[in-house]
Chain A
Amino acid sequence: MGKDILTGIHFLSGNHACVEGAIAAGCRFYAGYPITPSNEVAERASVRLPQVGGIYIQMEDELGSMAALVGASWAGAKPMTATSGPGFSLMQENLGLAVMMEAPCVVVNVQRGSPSTGLPTAVGQADVMQARWGSHGDYEVIAIAPASPQECFDFIIKAFNLAERWRVPVVFLTDESVAHMSERVVIPPREEIIKRLVSRKKPSLPPEKFLPYKPGQDLVPEMPIAGEGYRFHTTGLTHNEKGYPDLSPKAQDKLVRRLVDKIRKNADQIVEYEEFMTEDAEVVLVTFGVSSRICRAVVKRARKAGLKLGMLRLIVVWPFPEKKIAELAGQVKALVSVEINLGQVFLELERIVKERAKVFLIPNAGGEVHDPDKVFEEIKQIV
């Protein structure tokens, strides 16, 4: 058996760091269909997972990949797949199934230029809304956006923890730039990682008394593993606490409301962001992923020029940090969304800020990251 946690200093791409982070988090199952720019995830997973006693399956397509994740999750694995725009679209139906069956799993979406085939080898950040609303119906998922290979390692561990804790699919919303960028990645000692790990709640009652979809105080039900003696039905149909289909409006209201509320009402425990020079800022850039690195440079430059600029960097993109945005709205003159799309986080800002501050957008259709010079010029105009 090979080593599962490669403690030490490495020079890794974001994609490779995702795999090392996943293995460190206890992922031993990968099912996927290769697509640029996510291929290096599949490549490294195919080599590394067998070394640590895990399973790598190259599936027939993305529909099957996502279905395999749901099955593996119920079999007790911490499963992962990786894809990009076109493949992520194909995964949406079974991603909804994972939501309905409450199967923890991690889906890495390396965003590229889009729509459709778009720009296979170039950066985009236009799947923000798709990560939230891609499957049909009312539901909530969690999405996390890393900005460096180190964060690909650290945050994918977080992604697995959140998936296990809240029993939802977690979308790891990276982008081509972060995925292909190579940087120094420090993998901490084994004990340090192990004590960070979270696993799903196990049944506290024996099989004859157990109800598979009876939630706890946190709205999350306990989860047995197939083969442990707990026999029940799990389905994409609306179901009752026993897991049996119950197609009444009452059951529908109870179930869908809980699936949504377990994320919305617990958002404070999930939301995570980084504030950079926001204390006295008059204008705050709201950004995520690779764009946050451009913005950080712009903020430093603006400060040197005497402009009171700050940055709010979304680490967890969904659920959206509504409270923080509302707080900033009452404190600053303007919020500026900087993202590699034509306005997606921007819409959320407008929705939450309303009239309390001005909201601007510095868009970019994709293909390359923002030019720091141009962002700086636009910021000067706004200020």
Chain B
Amino acid sequence: MKTEIIISGFGGQGVLFLGDLIAYAAVKEGYYVTWVPSYGPESRGGTCNCQVIYSDKQIGSPAIAHPDILIVFNQPSLYKFLPRLKTNGFLFYDSFLIKEPPAREDIKIVGVPAFQLSKMGNMAMLGAFLAVVDQIKSETIFQILEEKLKGDKTKFIPINKEAIATGMDFVKSQER
């Protein structure tokens, strides 16, 4: 089993943190993992992406040519990475920020208005990812949030969990 994910958007949308959470959770669940960020000099704005691979075998190349899963938060990222997504791969896109629907019929498309559902759109998207892909347990994610957000930051745990739940509920409501 090997899953290759590219997550892409504007700097400041939480793209790297989302990838980091998925990667760290995969480490906790016993997978081999690699997380490679790519960003420009600016801390907000500009494009930014990260590549996450988790696998039950050792990982060779950390560079992903054709991802199994693509998560995008803006139009330029969709244009850039959509052609590289594998056939039957999953596309998660923010349907609130990306108005033009993706034009490919050989993939599974999950539109989530992430940044409309929550201010923490990255967490809402994480919820959708967890529910649809069903490889990483949400309990592992919650455990990591509690590890990472300590002291003064404890107060952010409930709102993060809430955003994740919103994303999960959204995709479940779409299935019905």
| A interface residue numbers (CB < 8 A to B) | 9, 11, 36, 120-122, 177, 180-184, 290, 293-294, 296-297, 300, 368-373
User: Counting chain B CB atoms within 10 Å of each CB, which of A120, A183, A368, A370 scores highest?
Assistant: A183
Say how far A223's CB is from chain B's closest CB, in angstroms. Answer: 40
A300 contacts across to B, CB distance below 8 A: 60
Which 5 pairs between the two chains have the least Cβ-Cβ distance?
A297-B61, A297-B60, A182-B35, A296-B60, A11-B27
Beta-carbon contact of B39 and A11 below 8 Å: no
Interface residue B142 (Cβ < 8 Å from any Cβ of A): no
Question: A180 is contacted by which of B32, B33, B37, B61 (Cβ under 8 Å)?
Answer: B37
Contact-residue size bin, chain B (C-beta under 8 Å from the other chain): 20 to 34
A180 to B51, CA, bound (A): 12
Beta-carbon contact of A372 and B39 below 8 Å: no
B23 contacts across to A, CB distance below 8 A: 11, 182
Beyond the given pairs A182-B33, A183-B33, A370-B63, 5 more chain A to chain B contacts, judged by CB atoms under 8 angstroms and listed by A's residue number, are A11-B23, A290-B62, A297-B61, A368-B38, A373-B65
Beta-carbon contact of B37 and A296 below 8 Å: no
Beta-carbon contact of A11 and B40 below 8 Å: no
A297 to B61, CA, bound (A): 6
Say how far A305's CB is from chain B's closest CB, in angstroms. Answer: 16
Say how far B59's CB is from chain A's closest CB, in angstroms. Answer: 8
A184 to B25, CA, bound (A): 11
A36 contacts across to B, CB distance below 8 A: 41
Say how far B149's CB is from chain A's closest CB, in angstroms. Answer: 16
A183 to B24, CA, bound (A): 9
Say how far B157's CB is from chain A's closest CB, in angstroms. Answer: 19
Beta-carbon contact of B63 and A183 below 8 Å: no
Q: Quick one: closest B residue to A10, CB to CB?
A: B27
- Chain B contact residues, majority secondary structure: mixed
A293 contacts across to B, CB distance below 8 A: 60-63
Beta-carbon contact of B36 and A180 below 8 Å: yes
- Chain A contact residues, majority secondary structure: mixed
Beta-carbon contact of A372 and B41 below 8 Å: no
Known: A180-B36, A180-B37, A183-B35. A9 touches B27 (CB 8 A): yes
14 A-B interface contacts by CB (under 8 A)? A11-B23, A11-B27, A121-B39, A121-B41, A177-B36, A181-B37, A182-B35, A290-B62, A296-B60, A296-B61, A371-B63, A371-B65, A372-B63, A372-B65
Kindly count the residue-residue contacts between A and B in the assembled complex, taking CB atoms under 8 Å apart.
Answer: 56
A368 to B36, CA, bound (A): 11
Q: Quick one: closest A residue to B48, CB to CB?
A: A121
Interface residues of B in 1-45 (CB under 8 A from A): 20, 23-24, 27, 32-41
Q: Quick one: closest A residue to B24, CB to CB?
A: A11
A121 contacts across to B, CB distance below 8 A: 38-41
Beta-carbon contact of A184 and B60 below 8 Å: no
A366 to B59, CA, bound (A): 23
A333 to B147, CA, bound (A): 54
Interface residues of B in 51-95 (CB under 8 A from A): 59-63, 65
A153 to B88, CA, bound (A): 38
Beta-carbon contact of B36 and A372 below 8 Å: no
A294 contacts across to B, CB distance below 8 A: 61, 63
A290 contacts across to B, CB distance below 8 A: 62
Known: A36-B41, A182-B34, A183-B34. A372 touches B27 (CB 8 A): no
Beta-carbon contact of A184 and B33 below 8 Å: yes
A184 to B59, CA, bound (A): 11
Q: Quick one: closest B residue to A120, CB to CB?
A: B41
A177 contacts across to B, CB distance below 8 A: 36, 62
Known: A11-B23, A121-B40. A372 touches B61 (CB 8 A): yes
Q: Quick one: closest A residue to B51, CB to CB?
A: A181
Q: Quick one: closest A residue to B27, CB to CB?
A: A11
B33 contacts across to A, CB distance below 8 A: 11, 182-184
Q: Quick one: closest B residue to A36, CB to CB?
A: B41
Say how far B37's CB is from chain A's closest CB, in angstroms. Answer: 5
Say how far A364's CB is from chain B's closest CB, in angstroms. Answer: 12
B60 contacts across to A, CB distance below 8 A: 293, 296-297, 300
Q: Quick one: closest B residue to A123, CB to CB?
A: B38
A294 to B36, CA, bound (A): 14
A120 to B40, CA, bound (A): 8
B38 contacts across to A, CB distance below 8 A: 121-122, 368
A181 to B59, CA, bound (A): 13
Say how far B109's CB is from chain A's closest CB, in angstroms. Answer: 25
B35 contacts across to A, CB distance below 8 A: 181-183
Q: Quick one: closest B residue to A177, CB to CB?
A: B36
A181 to B20, CA, bound (A): 10
Known: A120-B41, A121-B40, A177-B36. A182 touches B20 (CB 8 A): yes
Say how far B140's CB is from chain A's closest CB, in angstroms. Answer: 12
Say how far B78's CB is from chain A's closest CB, in angstroms. Answer: 20
Say how far B48's CB is from chain A's closest CB, in angstroms. Answer: 10
A297 to B53, CA, bound (A): 14
B41 contacts across to A, CB distance below 8 A: 36, 120-121
Say how far B155's CB is from chain A's closest CB, in angstroms. Answer: 23
B59 contacts across to A, CB distance below 8 A: 183
Beta-carbon contact of A181 and B63 below 8 Å: no
Say how far B151's CB is from chain A's closest CB, in angstroms. Answer: 15
